[in-house]
Amino acid sequence: AKLKEKGINDQKILSVIKKVPRELFINQASAERAYENIPLPVECGQTISQPYVVAYMIDCLKLKKTDKVLEIGTGTGYQTAIISHLCQKIYTIEIFSKLFSQAKFNMDKLKIKNVIYKLGNGANGWQEKNFFDAIIVSAASEEISSQLLQNLKINGQLIFPKKYLFENQKLILIKKIGENNFKKKELFDVKFVPLLSNNAQH
């Protein structure tokens, strides 16, 4: 109901968020806060985003059942689980091996089968060019790498939290309208953990 008040009207997204048990994805210590609309801590100094921001970012991408989606920053897999119900396949990259195995464990528990995982640096994207209908980045960075933009199909969209000077961040939606032609739209202020760009962390 809270998400509806905030303007998320897509029934599919709302019902999936209801269905995915958020307490599975967080530390036991925060379990009783699982359904509050706040970010919560997980291992490796990372966080799980608040449900509203997850819902909003997914809503912006207007996913179709036939879409292939790339997610940068699997975390414990909360957002991955939600997206998995809304698209054909989700490819997801995580830099921390501890979170990576936690996410896989969570997906198995929920019997989610359309996820393809990669442990490594998400800033480098996936190998395939023009392959994804949508890309969602779960950590803040100043710029999006050209590899990541190449992963996107023409007319595909990418959403990410952009880091500006003085620590403020805004969500940016990018639409790829030609091989090297992009349309950017600035959305609202957010606060995400920074995108790490060194190699997989143990």
Quick: pLDDT tens for 149-159. 999 999 999 99
Inform me whether the pLDDT recorded for 167 exceeds 80. Answer: no
76-106 residue pLDDT tens: 999 999 999 999 999 999 999 999 999 999 9
pTM of the model: 0.94
Catalytic residue (choose from 15, 30, 49, 84): 49
Dihedrals φ, ψ of 169, to 5°?
Answer: -135, 145
Closest CA relative to residue 102, chosen from 73, 75, 70, 72: 75
Inform me whether the pLDDT recorded for 202 exceeds 50. Answer: no
Determine whether 138 is an active site residue.
Answer: no
Q: Tell me the three state secondary structure of residue 174.
A: strand
pLDDT of residue 6: 82
pLDDT of residue 59: 95
